[in-house]
Amino acid sequence: MTTPLNDVTIRAFSPADETGWLRCRVLAFLSTQYYDDVRQHRPQLSEPSFGLVAVDTEQQVVGLLDVRVDGAEATIDTVAVHPDHQGEGIATRLLDAALARLGGSGVSSLDAWTREDPAANAWYRRMGFTERDRYLHVHLSDGDDADGFVTPPGFSSPVSAFVHVGIDREEEVRSRFARVYVCRQYQRDLWDPDSTTPAG
């Protein structure tokens, strides 16, 4: 069932939203390559970083977007929409609200990192983001070749591990590990430092 956009409100995250935030995030990620990135608490964000939620008429969290701000650069830390509400334009409304909040703040760029899920990559491109960088997320799992992984004396060999690897080693790591993802950085310029007008 599609929810009318005027039945969804975008507002600032409040501590009372944490349980809904966690549920929305885990359900949204379940069908993506981040399916095991489960948290028990929402990470704390300090000003000028901020969080937004999309809530329905019953104040249930149906979408979320957290932005970390570091000087003139900002990063989308998390964006997620509840599976029952995907395709309704909620993520776009959240981004629009975030961009409005960043406007005039001195932040010149907004970036985000995502794996290979086609829908996520397509959304960032539609929203005016450009790919700037990429590397590999590699998971060591049961049955993979653990050669080269080192643990402290007295510890067993690794049961599982998650590491970053340069994109130039993609062919090698894909031949050794079952779970390898290209992680892409997308960036959208918000303000041209050499101009007095916002970037397009």
Report pLDDT digits (tens) over 16-38: 999 999 999 999 999 999 999 99
Q: Supply 142's token pair.
A: 């049961």
What pLDDT, on the 0 to 100 scale, is given for residue 142? 83
pLDDT at 2 (0 to 100): 55
Q: Among 140, 165, 13, 1, which residue's Cα sits nearest to residue 82? A: 1
**Main-chain dihedrals φ then ψ at residue 119, nearest 5 degrees:** -65, -40
Please report which residue ranges of 42-195 form alpha helices under DSSP H: 90-102, 118-126, 170-176
Burial (CB count within 10 angstroms: exposed 0-12, middle 13-18, buried 19+), residue 49: middle
- Looking at residue 5, its pLDDT comes to 65
Higher confidence at residue 158 or residue 121?
Answer: 121
Q: Which residues lie below 8 Å from residue 23, measured CB to CB, with a gap of 6+?
A: 61
Task: Inform me whether the pLDDT recorded for 193 exceeds 80.
Answer: no
* pLDDT tens sequence across 108-146: 999 999 999 999 999 999 999 999 999 999 999 888 888
19-33, 37-51, 83-97, 146-160, range with the lowest pLDDT: 146-160
User: What is the number of other CB atoms lying within 10 angstroms of the CB of residue 63?
Assistant: 28
Ranges for all domains in the chain classified under CATH 3.40.630.30: 5-107
CA distances from 51 to 14, 43, 57, 67, 78 (A): 8, 10, 19, 6, 9
pLDDT by residue (tens digit) across 68-94? 999 999 999 999 999 999 999 999 999
Answer whether CATH 3.40.630.30 is correct for domain 5-107.
yes
Mean residue pLDDT of the chain comes to 92
pLDDT of residue 145: 84
Residues with Cβ within 8 Å of 113's Cβ and at least 6 positions away in sequence, in order, are 75, 183, 184, 185, 186
Q: What is the structure's pLDDT at 196?
A: 47
